Amino acid sequence: MNEHSYIRSVNRHKTKDLYYWKINDNYAGGVPDSFYEGAANDLWVEYKYINPFPKRPDTLIDLTNKKYLSPMQQRWLQRRHEKRQDAWVIAGSEHGGVIFRGLSWQPPITASDFISLCLPQKAIIQQIQQYCINHQ
């Protein structure tokens, strides 16, 4: 699986009351991959796919590494967090995906901690829908 197919595997579980826009902006660098809109909130999501996944449980996964989040993407996410706190990073892997809300993507995470936080794709979209549609 790659990032594109991971995003599709998440979004195939979404309901019709959640608007989804797959963003491909060649002019404004750093813009996240996806925008979701619901009755309660909007959400920007930058997806990453960890491949190959580290074999050793103590290996650090550092999303601030340019191979995952570019400096422009990091600045965009930080700015959005400061203004509206409506941008997440979702990192997928062969084990499932982890939602990093706010700036929680900044500190590195061990491979074993990543696995312990993994959710299946259906649970990922349910979290997105909860935030966008039913947010209290």
CATH of 3-133, one of 3.40.1350.10, 3.60.15.10, 1.25.40.20, 3.30.870.10: 3.40.1350.10
**CA 33 – CA 25 distance, rounded (Å):** 9
The 10s digit of each residue's pLDDT in 101-122 is 999 999 999 999 999 999 999 9
Closest CA to 96 of 125, 67, 56, 136: 125
Q: How far is CA 21 from the centre of its chain?
A: 14
Predicted confidence (pLDDT) per residue in 65-86, tens digit: 999 999 999 999 999 999 999 9
Confidence band for 58, pLDDT divided at 50, 70 and 90? very high
Q: Which of 21-25, 64-68, 124-128 has the lowest mean pLDDT?
A: 21-25
Query: How far is 127 from 136, CA to CA, in rounded Å?
Result: 13
Q: CA angle, 89 as apex, 50 and 111 as ends, to 5°? A: 40
What is the model's pLDDT at position 25? 74
Q: Which 3 state secondary structure label does DSSP give 101? A: strand
Model's pTM, two decimal places?
Answer: 0.95
